[in-house]
Amino acid sequence: MQAAPLIETKITKAERTRARLIEVATRLFQEHGSDEVTVRAIAAAAKIEAGSIYYHFASRDEIMRAVLESGVDGARQAVMRAIEEAGADSSPLLRLRAGLGAHFKYTLREHFSSRLRSIRRLPKRLREQHMAQEREYAAIFAGLLREAERKGLLRPGFDLSVVRMLAMGALTWAAEWFDPEGEMSADDVADELMRVLGGGIARGAGDQASGDQKRL
Amino acid sequence: MQAAPLIETKITKAERTRARLIEVATRLFQEHGSDEVTVRAIAAAAKIEAGSIYYHFASRDEIMRAVLESGVDGARQAVMRAIEEAGADSSPLLRLRAGLGAHFKYTLREHFSSRLRSIRRLPKRLREQHMAQEREYAAIFAGLLREAERKGLLRPGFDLSVVRMLAMGALTWAAEWFDPEGEMSADDVADELMRVLGGGIARGAGDQASGDQKRL
DNA sequence: GTCTATACGGGGATAGAC
DNA sequence: GTCTATCCCCGTATAGAC
């Protein structure tokens, strides 16, 4: 059907099928949680027979890993785009807000919380591949926090790595309770988080609201 | 061995075995994640044969539910105790800190994150029983936030229910990354969360640190 | 590349003896 | 109450035809 004279660059049928399998698996993992989904179910959803899957993947774990890989990669791209759209010269905290919002929305779409336990079950090799990718992803947010600190935008005394994990964890968990049908939008949640993260909930001017235990 | 003349109040062998099973199952769920643990494994750890379990529980799901029940109950007690120790006349935010700390420490010990997906898998009946218990638990924290608001301790404009879920979610997730062997203690994490929650990370006096997007 | 058929194992659960 | 034996289903994965 196509010209495609360069055999080297041609997308093979296998590649297309493989891509479709990842796509379908992602959706199923998202809907039912990665544990629930059987190879047979993935096959059925991809309109293929179960046995055929093993032409494309060596094991179920490999499918899992491929899904995670494409997922983290997609999240990374979405987050980077949001950050760029916020403008490179905007406040790092504004960019952080943009990044967290994109992260949350992506998590909701791909529902990556499915990873939770499943990751531990992955064979070491596959797991570490994934972890490396995750660290890279986290570095985006860590970088913004560091930049904010460097620019003197932050109150001193925070362990930024902990702050980052708390903030991202709040959103990861939010993907569990968030109701897309509800009154709040994903952006509302991200905004609320950022309001808390930025200024805290306690009243009191400046250092009085510093959140030290004594002030509580 | 014991007098125990009142047959009605005597703890039967069955009750003891059942309790032991819950105990053992809790530990296994905590260590390996609730999905990983088989009925056979629970039986083995309780030094009993697999089949015998079904004298005490109708199904694996029932074991699961019992574990969750005793878990949430334990957490509730621990949190209430911590709150009481903080003193009924102390600031609600100080009590919130105490409660969150206890919550986190309990989560670490019983590692309740194992619940994550597993809950969805529970038959409706069992799941709703658990959800009700969870709501009751959450109400403890919701109550403290409301009290703080009533006493004028909070900046206005927050959706406290969202704030609560974000804060608890941050800790739930923290149980995943927290390293008991690391330099930070569980209390350090809870403190850091409370510092962020209370005063925010952004510099700037009073309303300037209000965390509105424009200020970022 | 994809199909069909099937091996293999493991997990939940039951039956009936003790 | 607990044991032993066993059923039955379902999941992953393989083999070989097409």
User: In terms of domains, do B98 and B17 share one?
Assistant: no
In sequence order, which residues have a C-beta less than 8 Å from that of residue B147 and are 6 or more positions away? B92
Q: Encode pLDDT of B59-113 as tens digits.
A: 999 999 999 999 999 999 999 999 999 999 999 999 999 999 999 999 998 877 6
Q: What is the pLDDT of residue B216?
A: 53
Of all residues in chain A, the percent with pLDDT exceeding 90 is 77
Q: What is the pLDDT of residue B213?
A: 45
DSSP for A78-108, written as a single string: HHHHHHHHH-TTS-HHHHHHHHHHHHHHHHH
Distance in Å, alpha carbon of B174 to nearest chain A alpha carbon? 7
**Touching check for A172 and chain B: CB below 8 Å?**
yes
A198: closest CA among A141, A153, A144, A139?
Answer: A153
Distance of alpha carbon A41 from alpha carbon A60, whole angstroms: 12
Q: What is the pLDDT of residue A206?
A: 45
DSSP structural state of residue B154: B
Distance of alpha carbon A191 from alpha carbon A168, whole angstroms: 13
**Touching check for A214 and chain B: CB below 8 Å?**
no
User: In terms of domains, do B36 and B97 share one?
Assistant: no
Between B196 and A109, residue with greater pLDDT: B196
Kindly state whether residue B1 falls inside one of the protein's structural domains. no
Distance in Å, alpha carbon of B204 to nearest chain A alpha carbon? 6
Give me A133's structure tokens.
Answer: 């990718």
Kindly state whether residue A1 falls inside one of the protein's structural domains. no
pLDDT of A60 above 70 = yes
Kindly state whether residue A4 falls inside one of the protein's structural domains. no
A144 to A65, A160, B49, B201: CA distances (angstroms): 28, 10, 55, 13
User: In terms of domains, do B120 and B199 share one?
Assistant: yes
User: In terms of domains, do A21 and A102 share one?
Assistant: no
A194/B211 touch (CB, cutoff 8 Å), yes or no:
yes
Q: Which residue of B has its CA nearest to A121?
A: B36
User: In terms of domains, do B53 and B69 share one?
Assistant: no
The boundaries of the domain holding residue A181 are 61-215
Distance of alpha carbon B148 from alpha carbon B153, whole angstroms: 5
Kindly state whether residue A131 falls inside one of the protein's structural domains. yes
User: In terms of domains, do A66 and A53 share one?
Assistant: no
Q: Encode pLDDT of B162-179 as tens digits.
A: 999 999 999 999 998 999
**Touching check for A215 and chain B: CB below 8 Å?**
yes
Number of domains in chain A: 2
CATH assignment at residue B43:
1.10.10.60
pLDDT class of B204 with cuts at 50, 70, 90: confident
**Touching check for A87 and chain B: CB below 8 Å?**
no
Distance in Å, alpha carbon of B92 to nearest chain A alpha carbon? 8
* Least confident piece of the model among A7-21, A55-69, A165-179, B200-214: B200-214
Of all residues in chain A, the percent with pLDDT exceeding 70 is 88
A93 to A43, A80, B52, B86, B89: CA distances (angstroms): 44, 14, 58, 35, 37
CA/C1' separation A39–D11 (Å): 8
pLDDT of A74 above 60 = yes
pLDDT of A192 above 50 = yes
A213/B94 touch (CB, cutoff 8 Å), yes or no:
yes
Identify whether the C-beta of residue B114 lies closer than 8 Å to the C-beta of residue B34. Answer: yes
Kindly state whether residue B184 falls inside one of the protein's structural domains. yes
pLDDT of B152 above 60 = yes
pLDDT of B214 above 90 = no
A112: closest CA among A161, A62, A76, A160?
Answer: A76
Kindly state whether residue B144 falls inside one of the protein's structural domains. yes
Within 10 A of A26 (CB to CB), how many other CB atoms are there? Answer: 24
Q: Which residue of B has its CA nearest to A116?
A: B116
Kindly state whether residue B5 falls inside one of the protein's structural domains. no
pLDDT class of A210 with cuts at 50, 70, 90: very low
Chain A residue numbers with beta carbons less than 8 Å from the beta carbon of B195 are: 157-158, 210-212
Kindly state whether residue A41 falls inside one of the protein's structural domains. yes
- What pTM did the predictor assign? 0.90
Of all residues in chain B, the percent with pLDDT exceeding 90 is 77
User: In terms of domains, do B157 and B181 share one?
Assistant: yes
Q: Encode pLDDT of B15-50 as tens digits.
A: 999 999 999 999 999 888 888 999 999 999 999 999
